[in-house]
Amino acid sequence: MSPAVESGDVVDDVRRAIFEGDFVPGQRLIEVDLSTQFHASRASVRSALVQLAGEGLVERIQNRGARVRAVSLDEAVEISEVRMVVEGLCAAKAAQRASEQDLATLRGIATDMRAAVDAGDVLAYSELNRRLHATVRSVADQSVADAVLDRLRGQNVRHQYRLALLPGRASVSLPQHLEIVEAICARDAGRAEAAMRAHLASVIETLPQVGSPADA
Amino acid sequence: MSPAVESGDVVDDVRRAIFEGDFVPGQRLIEVDLSTQFHASRASVRSALVQLAGEGLVERIQNRGARVRAVSLDEAVEISEVRMVVEGLCAAKAAQRASEQDLATLRGIATDMRAAVDAGDVLAYSELNRRLHATVRSVADQSVADAVLDRLRGQNVRHQYRLALLPGRASVSLPQHLEIVEAICARDAGRAEAAMRAHLASVIETLPQVGSPADA
DNA sequence: GGCGCAAGGATTGTCAACAATTTCGTCCGC
DNA sequence: GCGGACGAAATTGTTGACAATCCTTGCGCC
């Protein structure tokens, strides 16, 4: 028999289950069910649900239990608007703080992005997109902004995911990504922030096209 | 004897105690002590601590308990930088969405601010400052940005508070506040965002002068 | 047939006791 | 006098049971 699992793992398990779609928005999360599913005590599950509610991933109502929170399209737009300004801040800081090594990494991602678009490899481009944003945040070295972005990304991971699959999306965002890299390499903070904001503004404009994740 | 207190109240009680300085940064928060102090069960306290850890107000270490989190000056600066861009977003949205009624409220606050500075009433000015920022956020009607700002404000409430007491601070920030109101009343989103950012940039510059709250 | 209503099941909230871990003081050997 | 091992106290983590609440189902009544 496996020993008792400490609560920290349960949070990760449930969070991953939500991310991977094992738990769909609106689905009830019943404490005893989760405790058997993840081999944890009910107290651990309970603590995990409180924590996930704080992250905005689940919704808890007094005496009625928890369910996976569904984010509406309107809310996804608001989330992306906040992301826009905060990632803009990160881009500006990155332009100020990047080492030569960092710039080389960014240029490498830019090159690979071009290649992925040429090859029509949507999946590779999507991964590079993730890496570019992650690298900018890492270079910016803003722990608070980073934490805020993590929280926000968790909430509309579903919307994000569907966006990358839109046909022709890559050819629109590629020049925006290249401009971000170029601005940072030029160490122009203002231009880097503007480029990042322009890119995410474009993402926001595209969001309604992908529709609400409910009607898949 | 008062009946058992539900956990929701404990969160508020502890949060308020931290805000009001009853619990100082670094202070250990022992579960049984809190449960007697707030007439709650240990489970409620425990749940409250998990929640507050999610809000970034307390720090919890495995098997070592919880303590009030101390935010360094560097972190306070980072928090304010994020606040700068997010409140900038709110100011821009407010400029787009404000009703005539909203504009009247803002102009009223501006008038009162001038009067408070003339009268040298620091406390009244501080309260008006709070009201101005709250009104802008309310008019912007951005629930996500609002939640982010609430979280951030909770973490450096101590730094904020000390700032208002700096002599001569009001005369510096008054024109900035007036410019924010003017820009919103002109329905100029770009100018409103720039004004809000300039104001908070000024706050950030001033932060080091107030020093770390530890050495009071 | 529709509607109020009570009983039952399902689920969450609370509590007290127990186990595990850390911390602190003490004592022994050097 | 000092460092390390031992042990007790303090504190957190976990468990199981019980109480409170909500939802469903079936019944009687209009």
The DSSP secondary structure of A110-175, one letter per residue, reads HHHHHHHHHHT-HHHHHHHHHHHHHHHHHHHT-HHHHHHHHHHHHHTHHHHHHHHTSTTHHHHHHH
Residues of A in contact with B86 (CB under 8 A): 82, 85-86
Paired tokens of B39: 């007439």
For residue A110, pLDDT over 50 is answered with yes
Paired tokens of B102: 């909203």
Cα–Cα distance, B15 to A46 (Å, whole number): 21
Least confident of A19-33, A153-167, A183-197, B124-138: A153-167
Paired tokens of B209: 């002068």
Residues of B in contact with A79 (CB under 8 A): 144
Around B18, how many Cα atoms within 13 Å sit in the side-chain half-sphere? Answer: 30
What are B186-213's pLDDT values in tens digits?
999 999 999 999 999 999 999 888 765 5
For residue B7, pLDDT over 80 is answered with no
Mean pLDDT within A15-29: 93
**What is the pLDDT confidence band of residue B111, given thresholds at 50, 70 and 90?**
very high
What are A166-207's pLDDT values in tens digits?
778 888 999 999 999 999 999 999 999 999 999 999 999 998
Partner residues linked to B58 by β-bridges: B68
CATH number, domain with residue A200? 1.20.120.530
Sheet strands side by side (includes A58-61): A28-29, A65-68, A58-61
Q: Out of B68, B88, B112, pick the residue that ends a domain.
A: B68
The verdict on B166 and B92 lying in the same domain is yes
Output the pLDDT for position B84. Answer: 98
Which of the nucleotides lies closest to A44 (Cα–C1')?
Answer: D14
Output the pLDDT for position A162. Answer: 75
Output the pLDDT for position A212. Answer: 56
The verdict on B116 and B130 lying in the same domain is yes
CA A38 to C1' C16, in angstroms, rounded, equals 26
Cβ pair A11, A52 in contact under 8 A: yes
- Cβ–Cβ pairs < 8 A, chains A and B: 73
- B68: phi then psi, degrees, rounded to nearest 5: -65, 130
Mean pLDDT within B50-58: 93
Count of helix runs (H) and strand runs (E) in chain A: 10, 3
Which of the nucleotides lies closest to B32 (Cα–C1')?
Answer: D11
Mean pLDDT within B10-23: 92
Cβ pair B78, B133 in contact under 8 A: no
Cα–Cα distance, A101 to A105 (Å, whole number): 6
**What is the pLDDT confidence band of residue A215, given thresholds at 50, 70 and 90?**
very low
Report yes or no: B143 at the A interface, CB cutoff 8 Å: yes
Amino acid at B133: H
Output the pLDDT for position B3. Answer: 38
Residue whose tokens read 């737009």: A77
The verdict on B49 and B103 lying in the same domain is no
Output the pLDDT for position A9. Answer: 81
Average model confidence (pLDDT) across chain B? 90
Q: Out of A68, A90, A121, pick the residue that ends a domain.
A: A68
Q: Out of A52, A68, A84, pick the residue that ends a domain.
A: A68
The verdict on A106 and A134 lying in the same domain is yes
**Torsional class of A3: left (φ above 0), alpha (ψ -120 to 50), beta (otherwise):** beta
For residue B216, pLDDT over 70 is answered with no
Does A175 or B9 have the greater pLDDT score? A175
For residue A2, pLDDT over 50 is answered with no
Which of the nucleotides lies closest to B3 (Cα–C1')?
Answer: C14
**Residue A42 maps to a domain:** yes
The verdict on B95 and B147 lying in the same domain is yes
Q: Which residues does strand C reach (CB under 7 angstroms)?
A: A 28-32, 42-43, 46, 60, 62-66; B 4-7, 40-44, 47, 63-64
Paired tokens of B206: 């001033």
The verdict on B56 and B77 lying in the same domain is no
CATH number, domain with residue A24? 1.10.10.10
The verdict on B142 and B199 lying in the same domain is yes
Around B176, how many Cα atoms within 13 Å sit in the side-chain half-sphere? Answer: 19
Cβ pair B73, B208 in contact under 8 A: yes
The verdict on A175 and A81 lying in the same domain is yes
**Residue B215 maps to a domain:** no
**Residue A216 maps to a domain:** no
Residue whose tokens read 């993730």: A130
Output the pLDDT for position A5. Answer: 43
Mean pLDDT within A68-87: 95
> B87 to each of A87, A192, B148, B159, how far by Cα in Å?
14, 20, 10, 18
Average model confidence (pLDDT) across chain A? 90
Cα–Cα distance, A133 to B53 (Å, whole number): 27
Q: Which of B62-71, B147-156, B179-188 has the highest mean pLDDT?
A: B179-188
Number of domains chain B contains: 2
Residues of A in contact with B142 (CB under 8 A): 78, 81-82
Interface test with B, best of A77, A144, A152, A197 (most B CBs within 10 A): A144
Range of the domain at A26: 7-68
The verdict on B204 and B104 lying in the same domain is yes
Output the pLDDT for position B78. Answer: 97
For residue A69, pLDDT over 60 is answered with yes
Output the pLDDT for position A159. Answer: 81
